[in-house]
Amino acid sequence: MLLFRRGTCRLIPDQARARTDDGTVVLLDVREAPEWKAGHAPGAVHLPLTRLLAGAALPPDAQGRPVVAICRSGRRSQQAAQLLTDRGVEAVDVTGGMTAWAEAGLPVVDERGRDGRIA
């Protein structure tokens, strides 16, 4: 079952949140650890693009599920979505990344679950 229409490769933040809210689709944050710790979307799963490029498998919470990749501005997540698609994963990314996510008024939490910031 395809959750993303053919040709769909990017979502705006509100679409990404709507797709990931029920847990069927995973939001995969591909930023580096300091960026993740400063602020990320609640419920997101973390795997830096550098590790993904080195061949790392998706975290257990993301395996076998469609993926919406997100980064700071959308460049790394676009690369991650293409890499995952090439590996056979149903994947898209968020245009504008976490910057656009926060600008849309969507929640951002730090590593302790408190109000976070985009680093």
Q: Which residues are catalytically annotated?
A: 71
- CA distances, 20 to each of 56, 58, 86, 90 (Å): 22, 16, 21, 13
Q: How far apart are CA 112 and CA 105, in angstroms?
A: 20
